[in-house]
Amino acid sequence: MDVKEKKNRRLSYLWPVIFWLLLWHIVSIIIDSKLILVSPLTVVGHLFVFIKEAEFWSTVLSSFVKIIGGFLLALLTGSMWAALSAKYKGIKQLLWPVILAIKTVPVASFIILALFWFSSQNLSVFISFLMVFPIIYTNVLKGIEETDEKLVEMAEVFQISSINKIRSLYIPQIMPYFRAGCSISLGLCWKSGIAAEVIGMPAGSMGERLQQAKVYWETADVLAWTVVIVIISLVFELLFLKILDKITAWWERM
């Protein structure tokens, strides 16, 4: 891709963002109410106030650790249970109602139920985990099941060790499914994790700050926190997928 093409590509991403920000700004001027809609410039102003506060960073860190903790836990356990389900049909049969239930029950129901079971401090870990687990489980299982049967036979004939089979046959097959699962669930874990914090209001969380802003009708703060969440979510997704791609490329070169 040459410089001109890169520039064009960037521009094609940038102009719609500018268009919508301008529209938002114009609508906020027309409405002219700080309670209903503030302009993007006001939101940016509030953001600058936030980032100067030490509490802001501890709040962001607290929510980040919990939500990403749940996400990583789901990656690990979802992959593990998918591998077990691929090997033992009984486990797959046993798990399907659970996976279906998690996929279909509204996240709000889980949040409320979870509040009965444990402290709101760890609620976002649980909810983030719960939303990511079925996606990773389903995708990894699909990846394993789609592994070329003929290659598996080849490995059997040549008596290739289990470690080498996993490394050379299964992982290259699973990786695209795993990546797609991560891409979908990263956005979802932030949405559900923050929703859990808004309902559970654990002290020192982004959800609590959002809820407080709502209670005091601080529309600008609500939007500023929303922008913070979107930025963190997008940056983490980009970084995570980039690292994953690098690991995959390194794995293939090995």
Partner 1 sequence: MDILLHNVSKAYGEKIIFHRYCLSLPEHKLSVIMGSSGKGKTTLLHLILGLQKPDSGEIKGNRVRKSAVFQEDRLCMNLSAVGNIRLVNPKLTKEAIEEEMKKIGLKNCFHQPVREFSGGMKRRVAILRALLCEAELLVLDEPFQGLDKDTKETVIEYMKEKIENKTVIMVTHDQKEAEAFGENIHLITI
Residue nearer to partner 1 on the CB measure, 151 or 201: 151
Residue nearer to partner 1 on the CB measure, 86 or 169: 169
**Binds partner 1 (CB under 8 A): choice among 76, 98, 113, 154:** 154
In the numeric block, the tokens 């593990």 are attached to: 80
Angle between helices 206-215 and 171-200 (to 10 degrees): 40
Residue nearer to partner 1 on the CB measure, 217 or 251: 251
Q: Which helix (H) or strand (E) holds 13?
A: helix 3-31
**Binds partner 1 (CB under 8 A): choice among 172, 184, 191, 212:** 172
Angle between helices 123-145 and 54-87 (to 10 degrees): 40
The reply to whether 156 sits near partner 1 by the rule CB under 8 A is: yes
Query: Tokens representing 23?
Result: 């529209």
**Binds partner 1 (CB under 8 A): choice among 12, 104, 159, 162:** 159
The reply to whether 174 sits near partner 1 by the rule CB under 8 A is: no
The reply to whether 13 sits near partner 1 by the rule CB under 8 A is: no
Residue nearer to partner 1 on the CB measure, 81 or 170: 170
**Binds partner 1 (CB under 8 A): choice among 95, 102, 115, 151:** 151
The reply to whether 147 sits near partner 1 by the rule CB under 8 A is: no
Provide the residue count of the chain: 254
DSSP result, 212-230: HHHHTT-HHHHHHHHHHHH
Residue nearer to partner 1 on the CB measure, 55 or 148: 148
Residue nearer to partner 1 on the CB measure, 82 or 169: 169
From 134, 124, 110, 138, select the one nearest 198 (Cα to Cα): 124
Are 131 and 111 in contact by the 8 Å Cβ rule? The answer is no
The reply to whether 48 sits near partner 1 by the rule CB under 8 A is: no
Q: How far is CA 252 from CA 112, 140, 147, 169, 246, in A?
A: 44, 18, 16, 11, 10
- With b for 16 or more beta-carbon neighbours within 10 A and e for fewer, the 236-251 pattern comes to bbeebeeeeeeebeee
**Binds partner 1 (CB under 8 A): choice among 72, 91, 115, 160:** 160
**Binds partner 1 (CB under 8 A): choice among 157, 203, 215, 250:** 157
**Binds partner 1 (CB under 8 A): choice among 38, 123, 125, 169:** 169
Residue 150 C-beta: closest distance to partner 1, Å? 5
From 108, 44, 61, 68, select the one nearest 205 (Cα to Cα): 61
Query: Tokens representing 82?
Result: 């998918």
Residue nearer to partner 1 on the CB measure, 55 or 252: 252
Kindly determine how many residues on this chain lie close enough to bind partner 1 according to the rule CB under 8 A: 14
Residues at the contact surface with partner 1, assessed by CB under 8 A? 150-151, 153-154, 156-160, 164, 168-169, 172, 252
